[in-house]
Amino acid sequence: MTSYEKLFIGGRWTAPAGRDVFEIRSPHDQRLVGAAPQASPADVDRAVAAAREAFDHGPWPLMDPAERRAMIERFDELHVARGAELAALVTSENGSPLWFTRWLHTVGISQQTAAYLRAAESLAWEEQLRSPAPGRTTVRREPVGVVAAVIPWNAPHQSALAKIVPALLAGCTVILKASPETALDALVLGEIFTEAGLPEGVLSILPAGRETSEYLVSHADIDKVAFTGSTAVGRRIASVAGEQLKRVSLELGGKSAAIILQDADLAAAVEGLKSTALANNAEACIAHTRILAPRSRYEEVVAGLKAMMEGLTVGDPADLATYIGPMVRADQQQRVRSYIELGIKEGARLVTGGPDVPEGLEGGYYVRPTLFADVDNSMRIAREEIFGPVLAVIPYDDEDDAVCIANDSDFGLSGGVWTSDTEHGMAIARRIRTGAFSVNGASGFDGPFGGYKASGIGREFGAAGLAQYLEYKTIST
């Protein structure tokens, strides 16, 4: 069992102001995984004061960018070295399957960090512009200030480091607000950053609930809020930030479409959708849960997806043979099951799965991987983010129809196309209104990641993600 009695405030392990604690229990069998202090507004005040002092008077923002890169490189080495341990901890907290958390903590997050490091190394922190006017124009890139990073529970280290790493590389100081469900792994980050040599004051880690979170993002000494989570909460944060003219970046929900073209290798597409639609229990904002299939191959697509989903192992997430683990909480389990019931009421054809809890797994927050066919894009199961392993197959007439259906969404985060012609896939990709799009399942961390429409504001990853933590200053001489 992993437990903490103190919070990580300004680089020091500090007794919390209150006595409330989060008990973290496994969503697989409700066993106690550990406990962590629950941060209060008084703890936020201390963390923000430390971050403000470190930014306004400390050495971190004034360091040579190469020194900050060296510290992040050291952190990444230490983080990867503890990858197996961290993967097991996150799996025990939130039910993500171990195959996924191991990949994420030993490969995926390190690739994400490496992309930020490349961007920081190539960035012109100060440059002179050519101008026909007399005099000289110098443009500086300076850190935005004190950052509140607010993250969800579904991929906690990936979300945290997508914000902490670029903020630190830019010279900012950071308060990480961790989710109650994954408080333990968040506090481990304090241990690793300390070992990496991060100066005092630069980072605080506060597991907290909703009221304390709102207190943090509305704090007068916070210069920027970086948030990953639901669109509803993102709207609230944007409202608070707008009132105070804080900088804000929001990575929100999605209802992404995967278009299977007439010429697609169906076996490859189905195998790819196993990952792009169902990885991490489909508790992922980027999950491709709307499958658009041509009418000429519709039943073939449905049959392929049915076979794939019925072949998935559902059960203990700590077992490497398990592909789908439990939902994170009882209310999330019930939410997903209610959407399955809704899909049946809406008239969609239930191909496999259903609202019943899988047999033998009644002690955990499990749902059956569920596939619906004969789905109309106006149905709620096609329009609302379910955040669970529920796929909807929607027929289309021709490619123009497929593009129209894919774009007919309040969201615009991700999506994909499956085709035997990559250039044709690129042509389709250019027509889809989303911030990220894959051709035949390809992905990477150097390009910008973020959403159109209700899927957010701003971008993460690479140079664009680093730029979210910089202010631009023009000096004329």
Q: Which helix (H) or strand (E) segment is 310 a member of?
A: helix 298-310
pLDDT at residue 310 greater than cutoff 90: yes
Residue-wise pLDDT for 216-240, tens only, equals 999 999 999 999 999 999 999 999 9
**Numbers of helices and strands, H then E, in the chain:** 16, 23
pLDDT at residue 1 greater than cutoff 90: no
pLDDT at residue 131 greater than cutoff 90: no
Residue-wise pLDDT for 164-215, tens only, equals 999 999 999 999 999 999 999 999 999 999 999 999 999 999 999 999 999 9
Buried b (16+ CB within 10 A) or exposed e, 296-331: ebbeebbebbbebbeeeebbbbbeeebbbbbbbbee
Catalytic residues: 251, 285
pLDDT tier, 135 (very low <50, low <70, confident <90, very high otherwise): confident
pLDDT tier, 297 (very low <50, low <70, confident <90, very high otherwise): very high
Nearest to 389 by CA among 438, 329, 441, 323: 323
Largest CA distance in the chain: 78
pLDDT at residue 438 greater than cutoff 80: yes
Q: Tell me the three state secondary structure of residue 412.
A: strand
Sort residue 34 into left (φ over 0), alpha (ψ -120 to 50) or beta.
Answer: left
Q: What is the pLDDT of residue 130?
A: 83
Tokens of 460: 């993460």
Beta carbons within 10 angstroms of residue 56's beta carbon: 12
Are 164 and 142 within 8 A, CB to CB? no
Q: What are phi and psi of 29, to 5 degrees?
A: -140, 10
pLDDT tier, 63 (very low <50, low <70, confident <90, very high otherwise): very high
pLDDT at residue 149 greater than cutoff 90: yes
pLDDT at residue 92 greater than cutoff 90: yes
| SS3 readout for 273-292 | HHHHCCHHHHCCCCCCCEEE
- Provide the residue type at 184 as one letter: L
Q: Tell me the three state secondary structure of residue 164.
A: helix
Rounded to two decimals, the pTM is 0.97
> Can you spell out the DSSP letters for 78-133?
HHHHTHHHHHHHHHHHH---HHHHHHIIIIIHHHHHHHHHHHHHH--SEEEEP-SS
Report the percent of the chain where pLDDT is more than 70.
100
Q: Which helix (H) or strand (E) segment is 174 a member of?
A: strand 173-178
d(CA 129, CA 401): 47
pLDDT at residue 132 greater than cutoff 80: no
Q: Can you list the domains of the chain with their CATH numbers?
A: 2-252+455-476 (3.40.605.10), 257-444 (3.40.309.10)
Tokens of 368: 């059956």
Q: What is the pLDDT of residue 245?
A: 96
Report the percent of the chain where pLDDT is more than 90.
98
Under DSSP, the state recorded for 449 is B
pLDDT tier, 40 (very low <50, low <70, confident <90, very high otherwise): very high
d(CA 18, CA 20): 6
| 234-251 average pLDDT score | 96
Where are the strands (E) in 345-468, listed by range? Answer: 349-352, 370-373, 390-396, 411-412, 415-418, 438-439, 452-453, 456-457
Under DSSP, the state recorded for 38 is -
Are 374 and 349 within 8 A, CB to CB? yes
Q: What is the pLDDT of residue 147?
A: 98
